[in-house]
Amino acid sequence: DIQMTQSPSSLSASVGDRVTITCRASQSISSYLNWYQQKVGKAPKVLIYAASSLQSGVPSRFSGSGSGTDFTLTISNLQPEDSATYYCQQSYRIPRKTFGQGTKVEVK
């Protein structure tokens, strides 16, 4: 199975900051990488698919980049409502679309 490793596990940043979360795959997955946001007590919500494509309705302060084994999710101009846990997911080795362990973002 492809292992997905996110870093950091958690972070705290201020409103207006630029935040970067990284995700590393245990083997090359081309651009088959998705990002999800999960708020406490809620279902996950897709933000980015195919490494860098913004899902419809998602604010443009969210962006994704990378290919191969290394990927990043960037939140520009961090907002209070961005407090959540963020997960990466590989869709290269379907159907086993494994997730990273998550990164918890706290907005101070």
Partner 1 sequence: EVQLVESGGGLVQPGGSLRLSCAASGFTFSDYSMNWVRQAPGKGLEWVSSISYSSTTIYYADSVKGRFTISRDNAYNSLYLQMDSLRDEDTAVYYCARDQSASGGFYYYFDYWGQGTPVTVSS
Site residues, partner 1 (CB under 8 A): 31-32, 34, 36, 38, 42-46, 49-50, 53, 55, 87, 89, 91, 94-102
Strand partners, 23: 6, 71
Q: Is 23 helix (H, G, I), strand (E, B) or coil?
A: strand
Q: How far is the CB of 97 from partner 1 (least distance, A)?
A: 5
Q: Is residue 19 exposed (0-12), middle (13-18) or buried (19+ Cβ within 10 Å)? A: buried
> CB-wise, 88 or 107, nearer to partner 1?
88
* Residue number with CB closer to partner 1 (66 or 100): 100
Q: How far is the CB of 75 from partner 1 (least distance, A)?
A: 19
Strands 45-49 and 53-54: antiparallel
State the nearest-atom distance from the C-beta of 2 to partner 1, in Å: 12
Name which of 3 and 77 has its Cβ closer to partner 1: 3
Which structure tokens are listed for 74? 């960037």
In the bound complex, what is the minimum distance in angstroms from residue 93's beta carbon to partner 1?
A: 11
Question: How many helices (H) does the chain have, and how many strands (E)?
Answer: 0, 10
